[in-house]
Amino acid sequence: MMKSVFFLVIGLLASLGAHAADNPAIPLKHISLDLSDKAALYRGAQTFQAMCETCHNADNLRYERLAQDLSLSKTQLDQLLPPGAKPGDVMHGFMPAEYAQQVFGVVPPDLTLIARVKGADWLYTYLTSFYADPAKRWGVNNAVFPGVGMPNVFAAEQGVQEPIFTTVKLPDGTTEQRLSGLKAPTIPGNMPPAEFEQQVRDLVAFMVYMAEPARMQRMHYGPYVLAFLLLFTVLMYFVKKEYWRDVPKGNKAT
């Protein structure tokens, strides 16, 4: 028992430390997602396949489960299936791990549970917060993940934002330049801003679904469960009334 409590405390402290270290230069953008919008989730799945699955895996989600949850037609499912893949296959990335290691220096992580680890707001802000940084290998950096080794896969759609730096005075009297915001791309992307933001929102919605597909079932059965509990409560109330109807008041339990 004491060991369990000890490791629980250690885990909580580690979690708090991780959150404290995750201090982005810009505030996270809050987004509202509607996971009942299956059309948006399907668009997000298409974006995931086009933009993310090139390098990343989602090995805990199978295409057939995706098709079942989103009520996809055979044609829609076939459009998602890579050449040679079957509905029972997992969403495995197209880039071999050895090649990814050579290109990026590390194998890109599996993204199945990333939405549960980081949250929807973090993902949305991260995907929309790349900015020009010629000093980096891919020519970009990220406001919420400084030094990220990933290129900006949405550069063509969004354009490349420019950073805004602020001079900050340190306790020792010296100063340093810190990122304080982002400004619109000098060369705009090929998508209007509203359309681009919707594309990323659909992608994040899909990643939230992907991290916990059972949520779709809970959302479906939840109203029925609540209705049953309400009906059961009413029935038990009348049963209680009937049970105590013929019992003298002075003999009832208090």
List, in order of start, the domains of the chain with CATH numbers.
23-152+192-212 (1.10.760.10)
Give the pair of three-digit tokens for residue 205: 């919605």
Residues 6 or more apart whose CB falls under 8 angstroms from that of 122 comprise 22, 28, 144
- Please calculate the CA angle 206-212-216 and round it to the nearest 5 degrees: 80
What pLDDT, on a 0 to 100 scale, did the predictor assign at position 22?
A: 57
Q: Residue written as tokens 């199978």?
A: 62
Closest to 144 measured CA to CA, from 3, 26, 16, 21: 26
Low-confidence ranges of the chain (pLDDT < 70): 1-23, 216-217, 220, 250-254
Token pair 């409560």 is found at 233
Tokens standing for residue 116 = 């549960």
Tell me what pLDDT residue 14 has: 39
Q: pLDDT value at position 204?
A: 98
Residue 136, pLDDT score: 93
- At residue 115, the pLDDT reads 96
- Identity of the residue numbered 23: N
What DSSP line would sit under 8-41, residue for residue?
HHHHHHHHHHHHHH---SSPPPP----TT-HHHH
Amino acid at 73: S
Which single residue is written with the structure tokens 């000890």? 6
> Contact at 8 Å (CB) between 246 and 150?
no
Question: How, if at all, do strands 58-62 and 90-91 pair?
Answer: antiparallel
Tokens of 30: 């809050």
* pLDDT of the residue at 11: 43
Structure token pair of residue 145: 């993940």
Alpha helices by DSSP H, the chain: 2-21, 38-47, 63-69, 74-80, 97-104, 114-118, 120-127, 155-158, 193-211, 214-243
Per-residue b or e along 126-161, where b marks 16 or more CB atoms closer than 10 Å to that residue's CB: bbbbbbbbeeeeeebbbbbbeeeeeebbbbebbbbb
pLDDT at 239: 86
Q: Name the phi and psi angles at 55, rounded to 5.
A: -115, -35
d(CA 168, CA 147): 20
